[in-house]
Structures are given as structure tokens and as C-alpha cells.
């Protein structure tokens, strides 16, 4: 992909939300918990490493082998008890539904197997978060051209991501292509008989495009063109739709978890 003179690091000058500190003991407990779950759901499956330890509204996310396939497992049973009980199945079903719609789209994980109501396995992407990558202007120009194309393809398949502002959800593959993960906040386009849902979907597509323009402004602002400047202004309707989603997530955390202080 154009200029491949880039590398990924773990430190940037971009201010990001601090992540919860996870002790090795907590990581080991989570790994054992997930390993026992996987053994019941898919005999022969095994956990090879934890990517995220679940707590509050956050699911367990781990590298695993399921049905002989290297994959990533997301398990909402790792959330706080009441969140896992009431909202875990809804969120898992929403993400699986989005990924199944995007099964033919390159740069998006594939569903390997639905393990139960709260857990599923998806394909692994050989990629790193874009915020840890450094490249020249030509690299980023080609990257964001491809990112706009990828997200437009997602929209054409009826899926708005709705959380591209989170820097960990946009990845750079080893060949410099964009990839998108974590569709738990996604929104799908309704049928032609559901004009309200289709209208909301269109507004959330604007939010996705605005998020890409903000990514570009962060890593390579000199690439911003007139269309990108327009995209930066997502409009009051898009802001309202996104703000409503944030409000719903905050209420859910307050009601169902002890994790109310985290994003």
C-alpha cells in the first residue's frame, strides 16, 4: 500500500483515556475463568492469551483456539454479574449480527462460532491500533483513502460502527491497510418499511465519517481537504444520536455494574 515506511509503537503524544491497571493475579483468574467456560462450550478449545480482562461493562477478550482455528473470543460473562445477565446477550447478539452482515468485507473480523448467548469467537486480524503507528504523509493519505472506502462499504452493507472515535477500534494491518474491530455499539439499517430506523442509520453514518476526519486531523492534519472539513462537523442530529448512545451506556453501567467511574 503506497509507502510502507511506517512502524508501530506503544507510545504517542496523543492524550488518551488511562486504562484500568490489571494485576497478573487478576489476569490469571480471568484466564482460568474463560478457559473453564470454553471447555464447557467447546471441548478442546483453549485460551492462549488474555487481551482484556473483563469487569464492569467490559467483556473478557482473549486469544484462543476454537475448532482448531486461531481466533479471538469475546465473552460478556466476564462483565459484572447483572450486566452479564441482562445486557450481555443483547450486546453479543448485536455484534454477531453486524459481523455476519459484513462477512464478505475485507478488514473486518469474521464470526468463527457463536459459543453461547454471551460469547462468540471471531477471526484474528494481524494488525495494531493506528494511534501507535508512524508514517509519512503519503502513507497516511493512502491509509485514510482506504479507511473511507472500508467504512463506506460497511455502510453499504447496512452497518454503522458508531464508535470509531475510540482509537483502539481502528487498526493498521501489516501491509498498511485499515481494519475495524469492536462492533458492540453498531447500528444496522432497517428495512424500507422502517423509515425511522433508516433515518437514524444515516445520521450515524455521518458520525462514522466525522470520526475518520478526526483521526486524520490527529495524525496528519495537512491531509484534510474540503470534504474532510465538512465531515468534521457531524451536524447536530449526528451529535444528538451519538450523545444519546453515550447516555444509554452510562445509565446501563450505573444500573448494572460497579464500574460507573470508567468510560
Domains of the chain, by residue range, sit at 24-123, 127-256
One CATH from 3.80.30.20, 3.30.70.141, 3.30.200.20, 1.10.3720.10 for 24-123: 3.30.200.20
Angle at 65 between CA 183 and CA 112, to 5 degrees: 40
Is residue 62 within 8 Å of 73, Cβ to Cβ? yes
Scan for cell 458508531, then name that residue: 162
pLDDT in tens, 121-173: 999 999 999 987 888 899 999 999 999 999 999 999 999 999 999 989 999 99
| Rounded distance between C-alpha atoms, residue 98 and residue 208, angstroms | 15
Is residue 169 within 8 Å of 182, Cβ to Cβ? yes
Q: Which of 67-76, 95-104, 133-142 has the lowest mean pLDDT?
A: 133-142
> For the whole model, what pTM was predicted?
0.83
Fold of 127-256: Transferase(Phosphotransferase); domain 1 (1.10.510)
Given a cut of 70, whether residue 67 has pLDDT beyond it is yes
Which candidate, 206, 186, 180, places its Cα nearest to that of 98? 186
Which candidate, 37, 79, 74, 72, places its Cα nearest to that of 58? 79
pLDDT attached to residue 131? 84
Amino acid at each position: 500500500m503506497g509507502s510502507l515506511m511506517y512502524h508501530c509503537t506503544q507510545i504517542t503524544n496523543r492524550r488518551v483515556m488511562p486504562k484500568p491497571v490489571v494485576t497478573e493475579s487478576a489476569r490469571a483468574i480471568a484466564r482460568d475463568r474463560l478457559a473453564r467456560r470454553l471447555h464447557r462450550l467447546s471441548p478442546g478449545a483453549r485460551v492462549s492469551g488474555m487481551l482484556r480482562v473483563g469487569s464492569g461493562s467490559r467483556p473478557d477478550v482473549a486469544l484462543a483456539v476454537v475448532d482448531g482455528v486461531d481466533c479471538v473470543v469475546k465473552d460478556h460473562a466476564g462483565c459484572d454479574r447483572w450486566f452479564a445477565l441482562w445486557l450481555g446477550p443483547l450486546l453479543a447478539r448485536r455484534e454477531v449480527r453486524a459481523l455476519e452482515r459484513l462477512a464478505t468485507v475485507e478488514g473486518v473480523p469474521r464470526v468463527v462460532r457463536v459459543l453461547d448467548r454471551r460469547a462468540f469467537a471471531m477471526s484474528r486480524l494481524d494488525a495494531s491500533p493506528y494511534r501507535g503507528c508512524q508514517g509519512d504523509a503519503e502513507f497516511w493519505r493512502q491509509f485514510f483513502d482506504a479507511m473511507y472506502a472500508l467504512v463506506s462499504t460497511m455502510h453499504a452493507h447496512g452497518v454503522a460502527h458508531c464508535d470509531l472515535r475510540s482509537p483502539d477500534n481502528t487498526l493498521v494491518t501489516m501491509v498498511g491497510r485499515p481494519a475495524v474491530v469492536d462492533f458492540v455499539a453498531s447500528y444496522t439499517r432497517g428495512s424500507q418499511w422502517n423509515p425511522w430506523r433508516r433515518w437514524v442509520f444515516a445520521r450515524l453514518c455521518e458520525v462514522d465519517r466525522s470520526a475518520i476526519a478526526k483521526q486524520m486531523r490527529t495524525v496528519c492534519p495537512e491531509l484534510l481537504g474540503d470534504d474532510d472539513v465538512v465531515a468534521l462537523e457531524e451536524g447536530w442530529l449526528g451529535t444528538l444520536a451519538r450523545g444519546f448512545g453515550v447516555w444509554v451506556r452510562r445509565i446501563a453501567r450505573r444500573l448494572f455494574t460497579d464500574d460507573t467511574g470508567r468510560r
